[in-house]
């Protein structure tokens, strides 16, 4: 190993705290700053032959660090936002619908088995959302009749 490379390694050790602070100011995250500073040191060591002795080492290292940071930002922009697996996995899952379909089929069959006046009362109450007064007026019957028809229809629809 030649003297310039040994000197460069010693100089890099003294410059590392400055690199770390600069990386922290760029990333605003301690872990990312540490990774960025280490990547800059690795790149500086692999490209030590490009450094000209007697020039500003800190400026050279800061330029390397800034270029790595810009490269990472561009790469992140191309990749899009990162979403943790746990955040999106549940949204892609859906419960099986077979049981609900069977239950709805059974309810539809039971509705067909009801008397016509009970079917109409259920339709007006459940599907149209009318109250007892409105149903009574629409069917031209007493409110008590509506209530008893609803009660019998609900009992007939109930699962045994």
Reading the block at residue 22, the tokens are 């600069």
Tens digits of per-residue pLDDT, 24-78? 999 999 999 999 999 999 999 999 888 888 889 999 999 999 999 999 999 988 8
Query: How does residue 4 score in pLDDT terms, banded at 50, 70 and 90?
Result: low
Residues 106-112: contacts with CB under 8 Å, at least 24 apart: 106/159, 107/157, 110/156, 110/157, 111/157
Q: Which domains does the chain have, with CATH numbers?
A: 3-89 (1.10.1740.10), 98-157 (1.10.10.10)
Share of the chain above pLDDT 90, in %: 47
Reading the block at residue 132, the tokens are 């007892």
3-state SS of the chain? CCHHHHHHHHHHHHHHHHHHHHHHHHHCCHHHHHHHHHHHHHHHHHCHHHCCCCCCHHHHHHHHHHHHHHHHHHHHHHHCCCCCHHHHHHHHCCCCCHHHHHHHHHHHHHHHHCCHHHHHHHHHHHHCCCCHHHHHHHHCCCHHHHHHHHHHHHHHHCCC
């Amino acid at each position: 190993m030649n003297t310039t490379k040994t000197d460069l390694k010693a100089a890099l050790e003294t410059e590392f705290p400055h690199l770390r602070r600069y990386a922290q100011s760029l990333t605003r995250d301690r872990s990312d700053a540490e990774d960025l500073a280490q990547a800059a040191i690795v790149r500086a060591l692999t490209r030590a032959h490009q450094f000209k002795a007697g020039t500003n080492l800190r400026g050279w290292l800061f330029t390397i660090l800034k270029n790595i940071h810009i490269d990472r930002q561009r790469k992140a922009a191309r990749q899009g936002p990162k979403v943790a697996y746990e955040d999106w996995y549940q949204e892609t899952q859906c419960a099986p619908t077979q049981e609900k379909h069977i239950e709805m089929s059974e309810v539809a069959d039971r509705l067909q088995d009801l008397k016509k006046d009970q079917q109409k009362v259920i339709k007006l109450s459940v599907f149209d959302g009318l109250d007892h007064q409105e149903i009574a007026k629409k069917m031209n019957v007493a409110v008590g009749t509506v209530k008893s028809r609803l009660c019998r229809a609900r009992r007939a629809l109930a699962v045994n």
